[in-house]
Amino acid sequence: EVQLLESGGGLVQPGGSLRLSCAASGFTFSTFAMNWVRQAPGKGLEWVSTVSGSGGRTYYADSVKGRFTISRDNSKNTLFLQMNSLTAEDTAVYYCAKDFAVPGIFDYWGQGTLSTVSS
Amino acid sequence: DIVLTQSPATLSLSPGERATLSCRASQSVSSYLAWYQQKPDQPPRLLIYDASNRATGIPARFSGSGSGTDFTLTIGSLEPEDFAVYYCQQRSTWPRTFGQGTKLEIK
């Protein structure tokens, strides 16, 4: 059974940093690209970032480019999102999501971790 | 960026009725469109990928159609558990984008 468990969210002041983690199990982690998708309170879904299975290719939404860094440790089946220079607009539930066999489709999602940026 | 516009914003129907949800893309996404269902305090669930392919375990009452810029998600006969928010998403180009969602509510 595929499981994705996010952690690392919390309350941070504007300008601060957070590092999110997503522990994966139940599939061959290194075979699949992984993604972060966020959802601001009461709002819709926003794709944030994708990393290829090897970790060699990364993609970012313009809203986070230069501030967020996606990475993965395939030896530990873990996905990361380093978030720097946070603003109130980054307040959201952050979901990690596994790519389907077809790239760009998100077939399994974690329960999400809430990151709140506020003074 | 490709903008996905969903309509209507809210759809009020009764169990047993047929639901038709629309997603229009600002430029062609070929057939590279997916649909997700999200219930309160839950992550999204993949329903349909590449316009018309049901994901594993999705009931046959869910069907998708369309190509290019116009897509439709149809729920054949609504069950009580189908009332939720539905999102479309394209994988044709970067950045991946989602529609703003359609809320399907009980009438």
- Find the CB nearest B49 among A46, A59, A100: A100
Q: Between chains, do B91 and A46 touch, taking CB under 8 Å as contact?
A: no
Looking at beta carbons, which residues of chain A come within 8 Å of B42?
Answer: 111
Residue pLDDT, tens place only, A55-74:
999 999 999 999 999 999 99
Q: Are A22 and A33 in contact (CB under 8 A)?
A: no
Report B:49-88 residues touching A (Cβ under 8 A).
Answer: 49-50, 55-56, 87
Other C-beta atoms closer than 10 Å to the C-beta of B93 total 13
- DSSP state, A65? T
pLDDT at A102 over 90: no
Give the residue-averaged pLDDT of A84-109. 96
Query: What distance in Å separates the CA atoms of residue A33 and residue B4, rounded to the nearest whole number?
Result: 23
Query: By CA distance, what is A107's nearest residue in B?
Result: B46
Average pLDDT score, chain B: 97
Percent of chain B with pLDDT over 70: 100
Query: What distance in Å separates the CA atoms of residue A58 and residue B104, rounded to the nearest whole number?
Result: 35
pLDDT at A33 over 90: yes
Phi-psi region of B91 (alpha: psi -120 to 50; beta: other; left: phi over 0): alpha
Spatial CB neighbours of A88, under 8 Å, sequence gap ≥ 6: A14, A117, A118
pLDDT at A101 over 90: no
Residue pLDDT, tens place only, B56-104:
999 999 999 999 999 999 999 999 999 999 999 999 999 999 999 999 9
pLDDT at A54 over 90: yes
